[in-house]
Amino acid sequence: MDETITQKQEVITQNHHGDVVIKIEHLKKSFGDNKVLQDINLELHKGENIVVLGRSGQGKSVAIQCIAGLMQQDEGVLQVLGKEVKEMTRSELKEMRIKIGFLFQSGALYDSMTVRENLSFPLTRVLKLKDKQELEKKVQEALESVGLEDAIDKFPSDLSGGMRKRVGLARTLILRPEIMLYDEPTTGLDPITSREISELIVKLQEKYDTSSIIITHDLSCARLTADKIVVMNDGKFIAIGTYDELLKSKDELVNNFFK
Ligand SMILES: Nc1ncnc2c1ncn2[C@@H]1O[C@H](COP(=O)(O)OP(=O)(O)O)[C@@H](O)[C@H]1O
Ligand SMILES: [Mg+2]
């Protein structure tokens, strides 16, 4: 484990001056009286993995949906790949959504489609790819990258939870996003499968040099995947640091997460 942490810290140092791919300043979002995001500030650099760690109901999914352009903030700066999201035209938003891969909590596969059809779908619909051979090649490549070549003709209901997550990941990565957003990638999985998914996230991150925000309440997922961890509480980010740094934090709220 120490080795992983050291490697991660080297990555942070190397990428520290990389381009800022997501910039968030004083982001706020309420639903009626429910002030969900109160003051969110964050910079994600190219090639970096940031984990947002927080208990349930803290606004993690709301934050990630704002970043993905699926929900609009009330106030604050939110720039993705150098552009303010709320000022984007419809076609700029569309372009941005192709560059951002979003792995939903549920995995969101189509149950009536085989794995091949699930993976082909974004290629035909978003990229308008028609060439059968090219489609098949990309689908096979994507499945290979998540270690599931044999599942190509199966239906989601034939697969375990961990395998469905892998297919969801392959389907998101097939469009080669520059930024990956993960909402609770390990929730509902057993500890061994969780670990496999966390390791896969790191492996794919290195392979494709993506920048990622990973939202989780799973500390071991955070430890395995994060260059930096941000702790979220009451709609604010209350601490930021490496796993090791936060582990030593004297702040009681931060400490509670590391028990
Ligand atoms: N579309 C919505 N409309 C109204 N309230 C919402 C909506 N989405 C989330 N909320 C509220 O925002 C708060 C944070 O939710 P969420 O971001 O899902 O938490 P987390 O992902 O950290 O568990 C909750 O109180 C939830 O009820
Ligand atoms: Mg959530």
- Is 148 within the bounds of a domain? yes
Mean pLDDT of 98-109: 82
Domain membership of residue 119 as a residue range = 110-176
Length of the chain: 259
d(CA 142, CA 175): 10
- Is 123 within the bounds of a domain? yes
- DSSP symbol at 156: G
- Is 163 within the bounds of a domain? yes
pLDDT of residue 18: 74
Q: Which ligand is nearest to the CA of 187?
A: 2
Where residue 256 falls among pLDDT bands split at 50, 70, 90?
confident
pLDDT single digits (tens) 27-68: 999 999 999 999 999 999 999 999 999 988 999 999 999 998
Q: Which of 53, 58, 62 to mutate to test the pocket of ligand 1 (most atoms within 8 A of CB)?
A: 62
Q: Ligand 1: which atom is nearest the Cα of residue 59? A: 17
pLDDT of residue 11: 46
Helices (H), the chain: 2-15, 60-67, 90-99, 115-125, 132-145, 161-173, 191-208, 219-225, 243-247, 252-257
Distance of CA 27 to the CA centre of its chain: 19
Residue 190 has which token pair? 């057993």
The answer to whether residue 14 scores a pLDDT higher than 60 is no
- Is 248 within the bounds of a domain? no
Q: Which of 223, 187, 180, 192 is nearest to 56 (CA)?
A: 187
Ligand 1 atom 8, closest CA = 62
148 in Cβ contact with 119 (< 8 Å): no
Number of domains comprising the chain: 1
CA quadruple 206, 209, 214, 220: dihedral, nearest 10: 10
The answer to whether residue 5 scores a pLDDT higher than 80 is no
| CB-defined site of ligand 1, < 6 Å | 31, 34, 36, 54, 56-62
- Is 239 within the bounds of a domain? no
- Is 27 within the bounds of a domain? no
53 in Cβ contact with 219 (< 8 Å): yes
CA of 75 from ligand 2 middle (Å) equals: 21
- Is 38 within the bounds of a domain? no
CA of 140 from ligand 2 middle (Å) equals: 31
- Is 171 within the bounds of a domain? yes
pLDDT of residue 229: 96
Q: Ligand 1: which atom is nearest the Cα of residue 54? A: 22
118 in Cβ contact with 109 (< 8 Å): yes
Q: Is the pTM of this model over 0.75?
A: yes
